[in-house]
């Protein structure tokens, strides 16, 4: 199958030397790309800035901002049969990016942020994607409630939820443990394992759904 995978964080510029971002390392998305390639699938990997080499055989599109990731997905999703949105996209960006470096003149500094486009949320409604849609959710509380809400709201077939309040898994770790919520109401746990093993488990389940 042809996979499109988003991975890593996005960077939202504040001025020429500063940006807003998050702790995503990209490891989960890159592990998914490796697992899919290893099982004979084609992969387009749309990646925010990370320190991981490109997986052999993947087509990698590098982006910085959420808007650039949105544009790259819009351009490529039509060719995909499976779309996995693993990136930790910044929900907001700075309303007016300063053209020059901001000087520390005041005691406080207020930045106005405006909402970024929801890429996963646009897959069905804007891009008209009809393939298998898999979303991720990073939650610190009420995991099942928030995850199933996202699954339905964004039109996913499968939602992969991480409990990011745990320091032993998820963000910037080599291991993960995820809860899977399916559109048909099924729920399953993939017990703590390396991100590569979790990725293999996810790709297997995607194959079963396809
Ligand atoms: N996502 C995306 N584009 C965004 C934000 C999120 O594609 N601008 C995708 C992520 O890649 C992930 C899922 O949506 O697959 C995570 O959604 P999240 O931001 O956690 O969900 P929201 O519904 O925006 O809820 P929250 O209020 O928790 O941010």
Catalytic positions, written as ranges: 22
Q: Hey, what are 145's tokens?
A: 């409630």
Strand-pair partners of 43 = 3
The answer, yes or no, to whether any atom of ligand 1 lies below 6 A from the CB of 69, is no
Nearest CA to ligand 1 atom 9: 120
Q: Report which ligand 1 atom has the smallest distance to the Cα of 134.
A: 15
Report CA(118)–ligand 1 centroid distance (Å).
Answer: 7
The answer, yes or no, to whether any atom of ligand 1 lies below 6 A from the CB of 118, is yes
* Count, residues in the chain: 210
The answer, yes or no, to whether any atom of ligand 1 lies below 6 A from the CB of 136, is yes
CB 50, CB 30: distance < 8 Å: yes
pLDDT digits (tens, 9 = 90+) for 50-98: 999 999 999 999 999 999 999 999 999 999 999 999 999 999 999 999 9
Stretch 175-202: mean pLDDT: 95
Count of other CB atoms within 10 angstroms of residue 93:
22
The residue among 164 and 154 whose pLDDT is bigger is 154
CB 149, CB 142: distance < 8 Å: no
Distances (CA, A) of 132 to 121, 179, 210: 14, 18, 7
Q: What's the pLDDT at 125?
A: 97
The answer, yes or no, to whether any atom of ligand 1 lies below 6 A from the CB of 4, is no
CB 119, CB 85: distance < 8 Å: yes
What is the 3-state secondary structure of 25-47?
Answer: CCHHHHHHHHHHHHCCCEEEEEE
Instruction: Catalogue all structural domains in the chain, each as residue range(s) with its CATH number.
Output: 2-209 (3.40.50.10300)
Q: Report which ligand 1 atom has the smallest distance to the Cα of 160.
A: 15
pLDDT at 113 over 80: yes
Residue reference for tokens 């959710």: 137
Report CA(89)–ligand 1 centroid distance (Å).
Answer: 7
CA 169 to CA 178: how far, in whole Å? Answer: 9
Nearest CA to ligand 1 atom 20: 137
């Amino acid at each position: 199958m042809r996979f499109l995978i988003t991975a890593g964080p996005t960077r939202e510029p504040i001025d020429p030397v500063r940006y807003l971002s998050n702790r995503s390392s990209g490891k989960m998305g890159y592990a998914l790309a490796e697992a899919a390639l290893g099982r004979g699938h084609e992969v387009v990997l749309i990646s925010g800035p990370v320190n991981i080499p490109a997986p052999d055989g993947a087509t990698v599109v590098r982006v910085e901002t959420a808007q650039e990731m949105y544009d790259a997905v819009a351009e490529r999703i039509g060719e995909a049969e499976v779309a996995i949105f693993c990136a930790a996209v910044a929900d907001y960006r700075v309303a007016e990016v300063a053209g020059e470096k901001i000087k520390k003149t005041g005691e406080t500094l207020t930045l106005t942020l405006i909402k970024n486009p929801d890429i996963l949320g646009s897959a069905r409604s804007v891009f008209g994607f009809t393939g298998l849609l898999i979303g991720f959710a990073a939650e610190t509380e009420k995991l099942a409630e928030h995850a199933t809400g996202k699954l339905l709201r964004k039109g996913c077939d499968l939602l992969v939820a991480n409990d990011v309040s745990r320091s032993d898994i998820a963000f910037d770790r080599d291991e993960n443990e995820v809860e899977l919520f399916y559109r048909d109401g099924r729920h399953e746990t993939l017990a703590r394992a390396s991100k590569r093993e979790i990725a293999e488990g996810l790709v297997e389940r995607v194959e079963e759904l396809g």
